[in-house]
């Protein structure tokens, strides 16, 4: 087995193991796993509406996965995607509500606002990491909470003590009449094209530009990159900012597409944290992220059907996703067993 095959096998085996563990948990808890997974399947592919909603759910996952993966490639762990997403969400909603422009200005402006907000939110941990060697994980976690409280406070101010920004102007909306007619009025919106375009953008930056080469190089070995004359500090900041831009765009998808508003949140959306799972499963590659986002987005949305059809709490899917991350993180062991069985075969 070549290295390449093993690299693909590890996530595949992890997903299978995750689903198996999920089945065992359902069985032990007195539920019928077969019924559960059929309900999950129907929740994803059951009818046009569900399929539309599934793709709608995949959209922000693509972007949050890209955000985590992009930072990973430069050796940075951006747990702050959640916070960057929240500020992006608010910024897009604010521009969407507060201004009144023709669509060809308003929509790009709202999207840009989200990207800038997310980028700025990621700039702070990037700067601290580059200049003061402060670990980005802790800073981004703290920034998540600051983002949550800040946007909540801003929404409160904006709505005079209310808990909602109000619906955005139609000129800033990503809503799609075409998709609505196709998918029985699901909330599927044009954002999916933006998300897919960003996958290409990530691939292009990393594989086709000098900047991308430098970013990856810094991820592999900072000292060697420094020696080769690259500006390590600049690359660290740049990587965080680009990552934050992707995260901010994920927020724009929610603000301009799915919900059309921003409201006060008691807790996190979870999309940013699930982005870690998406990136990990997709091995931080653009193509892998499409698979990761599709799988997790579909699981998350499809699970909503499980309580109705099979009487199983939706959280079973969160358990499965966590277990999958766990197995991918323990890839060393899976690799070890694969290589061991491989050697045995060769010996025969």
Partner 1 sequence: MSFLEVLYFIIPSAIFYAAPLIFTAIGGVFSERSGVVNIGLEGLMVMGAFIGILFNLMFVDTFGSMTPWYALIAAMLASGLFAVMHAVATISFRADQTISGVAINMLGVAIALFSVKMIYGKGQTDYIQERFIRDDIPYLSEIPILGPMFFKDVYGTSILALIVALLAWFVIYKTPFGLRLRAVGEHPMAADTMGVNVTKMRYIAVILSGALAGIGGAVYSQSISGEFSHSTINGQGFMALAAMIFGKWHPLGALGAALFFGFAQALSIVGGEIPYIDRVPSYFLHILPYVLTILAIAGFIGKANAPKASGVPYIKGKR
Residues of this chain that bind partner 1 (CB under 8 A): 25, 29-30, 77, 79, 128, 132, 134-135, 137-139, 141-143, 145-146, 149-150, 152-153, 266-267, 273, 276-277, 280, 313, 315-316, 318-319, 321-323, 325-326, 328-333
Angle (nearest 5°) at CA 64 between 13 and 255: 140
Provide, rounded to whole angstroms, the least separation between the CB of residue 50 and partner 1: 22
Measure Cα distances from 104 to 108, 109, 293, 332 in Å: 7, 9, 29, 50
User: Considering the complex, what minimum distance in angstroms separates the CB of residue 279 from partner 1?
Assistant: 10
Question: Toward partner 1, which CB reaches closer, 195 or 328?
Answer: 328
CB 13 within 8 A of CB 323: no
CB of residue 325 to partner 1, shortest distance in Å: 4
| Cβ nearer to partner 1, comparing 3 with 266 | 266
Query: Nearer Cβ to partner 1, position 152 or 186?
Result: 152
Minimum Å distance from CB 186 to partner 1? 25
No. of H helices and E strands in the chain?
A: 16, 0
Q: Which is nearer to partner 1, 79 or 202 (CB)?
A: 79
Shortest gap between Cβ of 311 and partner 1 (angstroms)?
10
Task: Give which of 80, 211, 178 is closest to 135, Cα–Cα.
Answer: 80
At 6, give phi and psi (nearest 5°).
-60, -40
User: Is the Cβ of residue 190 or residue 273 nearer to partner 1 in the bound state?
Assistant: 273
Query: Which of 179, 184, 186 lies closest to 54 in space, CA to CA?
Result: 186
Instruction: Quote the CA–CA distance of 210 and 162 in Å, as a whole number.
Output: 48
Distance (Å, rounded) from C-alpha 344 to C-alpha 348? 6
CA nearest to 147, candidates 122, 113, 112, 110: 122
User: Least distance to partner 1 from the beta carbon of 165, Å?
Assistant: 17
Compare residues 34 and 134 and give the one whose CB is closer to partner 1. Answer: 134
């Amino acid at each position: 087995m070549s290295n390449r095959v093993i690299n693909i096998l590890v996530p595949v085996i992890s997903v299978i193991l995750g689903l198996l563990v999920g089945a065992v948990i359902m069985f032990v808890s007195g539920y019928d796993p077969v019924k559960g997974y059929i309900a999950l399947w129907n929740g994803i592919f059951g009818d046009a509406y569900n399929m539309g909603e599934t793709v709608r759910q995949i959209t922000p996952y693509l972007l949050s996965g890209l955000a985590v993966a992009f930072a990973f490639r430069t050796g940075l762990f951006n747990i702050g995607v959640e916070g960057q997403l929240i500020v992006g969400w608010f910024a897009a909603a604010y521009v969407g509500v507060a201004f009144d422009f023709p669509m060809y200005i308003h929509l790009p402006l709202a999207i840009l606002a989200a990207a800038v907000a997310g980028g700025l939110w990621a700039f702070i941990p990037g700067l601290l990491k580059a200049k003061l060697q402060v670990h980005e994980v802790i800073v981004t976690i703290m920034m998540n909470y600051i983002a949550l409280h800040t946007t909540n406070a801003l929404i409160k101010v904006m709505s005079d003590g209310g808990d909602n920004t109000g619906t955005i102007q139609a000129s800033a909306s990503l809503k799609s009449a075409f998709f609505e007619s196709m998918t029985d009025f699901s909330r599927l919106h044009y954002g999916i094209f933006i998300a897919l375009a960003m996958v290409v953008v990530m691939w292009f930056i990393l594989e086709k530009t000098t900047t991308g080469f430098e970013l990856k190089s810094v991820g592999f070995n900072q000292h060697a990159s420094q020696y080769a004359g690259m500006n390590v500090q600049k690359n660290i900041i740049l990587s965080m900012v680009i990552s934050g831009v992707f995260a901010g765009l994920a927020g724009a998808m929610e603000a301009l597409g799915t919900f059309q508003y921003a409201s006060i949140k008691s807790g996190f959306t979870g999309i940013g944290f699930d982005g870690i799972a998406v990136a990990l499963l997709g091995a931080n590659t653009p193509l892998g992220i499409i698979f990761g986002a599709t799988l997790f987005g579909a699981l998350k949305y499809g699970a909503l059907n499980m309580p109705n059809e099979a009487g199983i709490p939706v959280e079973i899917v969160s358990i499965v996703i966590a277990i999958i991350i766990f197995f991918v993180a323990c890839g060393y062991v899976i690799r070890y067993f694969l290589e061991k069985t491989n050697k045995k075969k060769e010996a025969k």
